[in-house]
Every structure is written in structure tokens, then in C-alpha cells.
Amino acid sequence: MEVEIKVRRFNGEKSYWQKYRVPVLSGMTVLDALLYIKENIDATLSFRYSCRMGVCGSCAVKINNKPRLACETQILQLKDVQIEPINNFRVIKDLITDFDDFFAKHRIVKPYLIRKNDSYEKPVEMIQTPKQLKKYYRYSLCIKCGACNSVCPVSSTRDDYLGPAIMTTVYRFMTDNRDEGKDERFKIVSSERGVWRCHFASECSEVCPKNVEPAKAVQKLRIKSIIYEIKKFFK
């Protein structure tokens, strides 16, 4: 069976659609099809890919208007296939987008455990019950593929908005019982470019390929921020 695949291309100057015909077998994913095109039809087609099992987060593209991981999307479940780079990221070439800003934002929210008595030389075993683990575990599954950012209406118009993925990371560290750095993170997150910009379009949760539910994390983070601000006010 053959399937026609429409790919949105960009060569640095202009952007255009290109069509390819790809023979399809059962079990073939969109990534397999793209690789087939690259290896047999058009070697200039560029896209990111790596693990092909949905944990590395490289291959988020817009398939039929929805951001998805190319490696996880079975081609036979789609009727026509139309592939574009994800929104809200600057396109570098074809399906490759610029993630530098995204990772820079990730950096400024201090996404690591902040502990007062942290010893590099003499680490100690810390206690964390399965219940405490479960509280944040889901939010630690984010693969930073950028799908949620690409559908967030605020991310599309304000480029320094932290975005769902990054704020989920903040929430993950805040709910970790080993962490002691809440104040530092509130400073960053409870700001104009943080939680107050979210208006709960909740599309991020709809498209997340790992079911991390960023919308929920952001709402919870906002409640925490409100309580924090009120407490600070009365101090």
C-alpha cells in the first residue's frame, strides 16, 4: 500500500509543501516513513529523531495539525498524512525547530533539588515513601518534546513566558519532599512571565504524549503561589 505524505519544508528562505509517495507496511510509524523518504527519495529532507521509542523527545512534529511524536504515530491510523514543524518555535530547516530558548528557560527555574546541607563528597540516603514519590512522579516524566508549548496560546504571543513544560518541572521539584528551595523558585515562577500568564486553555494536557498533565501542574503551582504571596504579605 502507498500513502501520500505532505511535508512542510523550509530551506532558510522560503517555505513550501512537498509531496512524497511512500510504501507502507503494518506497524510503520511516521518516523519510519520520514526515514524512508530521506534514504530513498529525497536526502535533503531534515528532521530530528533519535530513540524511536518515545522517551527522548526529539521528534515532536505537527501531524495533521496535532503535535505528536513521529515515532509513536502509526501511519495506518491516519488517512492522509500532513507533517509540519511544531508551532511557537522558530523553524531552522524543514521540520527542525530551535529549542535553545526553551532550554534556557528550563535553566532559569533551577530544575534541581536545592538542599541546605548538600554534601558532594559524603552523600546520604534520603527517606521518601512511595506515597511522597507518587505525589510528583507523574510530573517527572516530561520528555521536553515541546508539544505543549507549541499549542499554548500564551507561548505563541509572549516569548519569555515560561510555558507549560517548564512550569511542570518547577511543580515537580516543589512537591518533592527532599527539596528545600521553594522560596527561590517562587521568586521566578510567581512573576509576570510565570504562573499568572496561564489562562487554562489546557490544550497542553490534551497533546502531551506522555500524559504528564501540565495544565494541572500549573494550576496547582498557582494555588501554591497565591498562598505563598499571601503569607509573604502578612509577614
Partner 1 sequence: MLVDWFRIKGRSLHSLAFSFHRLTGIVLMIYLILHLTYLTSLRFGKESYEYLISLTVRPETLPFDLLLLLATVFHGVNGIRLVIHELGFVYEKRNLILYLTFGIVLIVWLYAGYLMFLLIMG
Partner 2 sequence: MKEVKNVNVIGLTITGKTEDDRVVRSDNDSNINEENKMDTKKLEPIAFIFQLFSGILLAVFVASHIYITHLNEEALKYESVVERLSNSTIKVIYFLFLVIVCFHAFNGLRAILLDTNFGKRNARMVNLLCLIISIVSILYGATLLISF
Partner 3 sequence: MKVQHDIVIVGGGLAGLRAAIASAERSRKLEIAIISKTYPIRCHSVCAEGGTAAVLREGDSFDLHAWDTIKGSDFLADQDAVEFFVKEIPSEILRLDNWGCPWSRTKDGRIAQRAFGGQSFNRTVFAADRTGFHEVHTLYERTLMYPNIIRYDEYFLTNLIIEDNEIRGVTAIELKSGDLILFEAKAVILATGGAGRLYGFTTYSHQVTGDGMAIAYRAGIPLKDMEFFQFHPTGLVPSGILMTEACRGEGGYLRNKYGERFMEKYAPEMMELAPRDVVSRAMWREIVEGRGIESEHGAYIALDLTHLGEERIDERLPLIRDAAKKFAGIDPVEEPIPVRPVAHYTMGGIHTNINTETQVRGLYAAGEVACVSIHGANRLGSNSTAECLVFGRVAGERAADYALKKEFRHVKSESFKKEEKKIFDDFLKKSGDENPYEIKKELTKVMDDNFWIFRNGEDMKEGVKKIRELKERYKNVEIVDKSRRFNTDLINTMEIGFMLDVAEVVAIGALMRKESRGSHYRLDYPERDDKNWLKHTLVYYNENGPIVKYIPVKITKWMPVERKY
Residue ranges in contact with partner 2 by CB under 8 A: 100-101, 104-105, 107-108, 153-154, 157-161, 187-188, 190-193, 196-197, 199, 222, 225-226, 229-230
Chain residues 14-33 in contact with partner 3, contact rule CB under 8 A: 26-27, 29
Least Cβ distance, residue 140 to partner 2 (angstroms): 22
Least Cβ distance, residue 156 to partner 3 (angstroms): 22
With CB under 8 A as the contact rule, which of the stretches 19-27, 39-47, 59-67, 73-81 interacts with partner 1?
59-67
Residue number, 65 or 119, with CB nearest to partner 3: 119
**28 to 3, 52, 201, 210: CA distances (angstroms):** 11, 11, 33, 20
The three-point CA angle 189-140-72 to 5° equals 120
**For residues 210 and 75, what is the distance between their CA atoms, to the nearest angstrom?**
19
Is the Cα torsion angle 58, 138, 201, 209 positive or negative in sign?
A: positive
CA 170 to chain centroid: 14
**For residues 115 and 120, what is the distance between their CA atoms, to the nearest angstrom?**
11
Which of 109, 110, 215, 225 binds partner 1 (CB under 8 A)? It is 215
Q: Is 98 in the site for partner 3 (CB under 8 A)?
A: yes
Which of 105, 110, 197, 224 binds partner 3 (CB under 8 A)? It is 110
The three-point CA angle 102-104-107 to 5° equals 115
The residue behind cell 500513502 is: 3
- The site partner of 3 among partner 3, partner 1, partner 2, none (C-beta below 5 to 8 Å per kind) is none
Q: Is 72 in the site for partner 3 (CB under 8 A)?
A: yes
**For residues 27 and 19, what is the distance between their CA atoms, to the nearest angstrom?**
22
Chain residues 185-214 in contact with partner 3, contact rule CB under 8 A: none
